[in-house]
Structures are given as C-alpha cells and as structure tokens.
Amino acid sequence: MKHRITLTAVFALLAGLIASPVHSAEPCPAGLVEGKRITVLVEGDGPDVVLIPGLSSPRSVWDATADRLKGSHRLHRVQIRGFGEAAGVNAEGPVLDPMMRELADYIDDCITDQGRAAPAVIGHSMSGLTGLMIAARAPGEVGKLMIVDALPFIGTLFDPTATAESMKPQAEQMAAMMRAQYGQPVPTTPVTDPGPASMAAGMSNSVVGRTAIAGWMRQADPRVTAQVFYDVMTTDMRGELGAVAVPVTLLYAQDDALMPPERAKAAFEPQYAGLARFTPQMVSGSRHFIMLDQPEAFAKAVDAFLAE
C-alpha cells in the first residue's frame, strides 16, 4: 500500500499546510480499507490490534473476539481476497509472501507512521505464520505476536526431516487437488453440520465450529486456498526466528481423540526454540479452531496477551 509522492503532490501538501491549521490526518479511518490482496475492516478505539484469519477463513472468524474488544481497542480485521470475497489478483501466482508484505505496508501506513505504537498481531493458522514473517522481516510493525495453532514450518508434521524443498512435490500434488475444485457448482442449500467424520471435524470438535468451517470452505476460492496451502507448506521460518525480538505467545490445540498432551507439546513447542521471548500455552479439548471450540479459554488467553 506504499505510494510514491510526486513533486506536485508535495507542493499541494505544503500549500494546504500554509493555508489551514495543521491536523493529524487519519489515512485509514473506521470502515473498510480496500487493498490489492487484502481488505481490512477498522473498528473501535484504543491500542491497535490486527486480527488475521487462517486458510479459507473470512474475517468473521474473529466476530466474537471483535465484539469483546472493539470497546477498548482499535481493531484491524484482515480478510484475504478469495476467502469470503472475490479472489482478484490472488487467483494467480504466489499469495503468502506478497500478501504478508502488503499487510506490513498497511500497518506501516495506518498505524506506525501515524505515531501510534506497533500493534498487537493475532494470527490463526497460516496467518500465525504470516505474523511471524512480518515480525522477522518488518520488525518495527509488530509490537507483540500471538500465534494460534501454527508452526514456523508445517512440513515437520509430515516428516521430521522435511525441508521446504523436499515438501514441494507433495505440496503441489495436494494443491492440484484443491485447484481442481474451481468451477464446480457451489451448493446453495443452507449449511448444516457436516458431522464428526467430515473434513471440518478435523478442525473443530463442536457442532457450531464444524458448521461455520463448512460454510467458509464452501465460499472460499479453491485457487486461492490451493496456492496459500502450497505457500505455507514450502515456507520454513525456523532459520529466521532469531530476527524476532518481540514477545511471541503460542496457543496450540490439544484434543485427546487426536493427540495426547505430550505429543502435542513435542509437535509445537520445540519448533520455536529460536525465539528470544516465547510463551507457549496448550489449550486442551480443542482442535484447530481454538476460538470456536474453547471460546472462554481463548478469550482469557487473548485478554492476558493484550494486558502484558
């Protein structure tokens, strides 16, 4: 969202300053901010919090969190084009890295360049990785980071010895299956619980959660889902953790039906060993969408994170 300022624009700005009193202009007021790869809904007032949804999820995944926080915080609810709206440029080519850079520019333009403190960033799933990328590569744009059920390199869940390069064939094969869904008819019937044996059930153990996820997956553009999935599978941030100076809180899910506590801890916590300031927290009785499966525990953890 960076824009080059022309000489004409500079003269016009100076003329305006001479002719009128100085005001602290707000470039991103409350409402919807339209970007190239993302849109951002700005609401509330107070310290800035950036909320980024995960793969195939729209900004509404944060509805309950936003309802609680917008009376005390200025919220920036991100939505990736293709997840809940038309894909636009995200329909072709890499998405994760350019989206991350656009979001870092947005934070710079709308928050830190305005003299406001760097925001708290909360990212779920692929957007936990996005927040980690911004914290490492644009360190002035993140004040603190909460990662919700995500890893700096997801490949280790498939193979402990995996590398970003070795994951490419498998990632492309899985992404191709997702892309093949593009152009298929989208059901128009009301979304109902797909049941405990569904794909959504692997991500949520609640009826409300499964139903919401099924609806979001239905509306997501398969091309964007496929590309972001590939991007995540082939991105390894472990070597960049030393560049992250801000506090990082990790919330990770644990459900006895999927993985015992000791295995969940071993899968998540060691990957973040390179962070200087790291606080992990296991959330039991939950699958991937912690905010849906354990809303009270999630709200308590978010409040503690923001109060630090």
Residue spans of the domains in the chain: they are 7-307
Instruction: Note the maximum CA span of the chain.
Output: 68
Highest mean pLDDT among 20-29, 181-190, 298-307: 298-307
> Pick from 159, 78, 175: which is nearest to 121 by CA?
78
pLDDT band for position 4 (50/70/90)? Answer: very low
Instruction: Give the least confident one: 26-35, 63-72, 210-219.
Output: 26-35
> Pick from 123, 133, 28: which is nearest to 80 by CA?
123
pLDDT band for position 11 (50/70/90)? Answer: very low
Contact 119, 306 (CB under 8 A): no
pLDDT of residue 15: 32
What is the Cα–Cα distance from 215 to 63, expressed in whole angstroms?
15
pLDDT band for position 29 (50/70/90)? Answer: confident
Q: Kindly report, residue by residue over 35-93, the tens digit of the pLDDT.
A: 999 999 999 999 999 999 999 999 999 999 999 999 999 999 999 999 999 999 999 99
Instruction: Give the least confident one: 16-25, 178-187, 190-199.
Output: 16-25
The mean per-residue pLDDT over the stretch 164-193 comes to: 95
Predicted confidence (pLDDT) at residue 12 exceeds the cutoff of 70: no
pLDDT of residue 9: 38
Predicted confidence (pLDDT) at residue 24 exceeds the cutoff of 80: no
Q: Kindly report, residue by residue over 87-128, the tens digit of the pLDDT.
A: 999 999 999 999 999 999 999 999 999 999 999 999 999 999
Contact 129, 153 (CB under 8 A): no
Query: In the CATH scheme, what architecture does the domain 7-307 have?
Result: 3-Layer(aba) Sandwich (3.40)
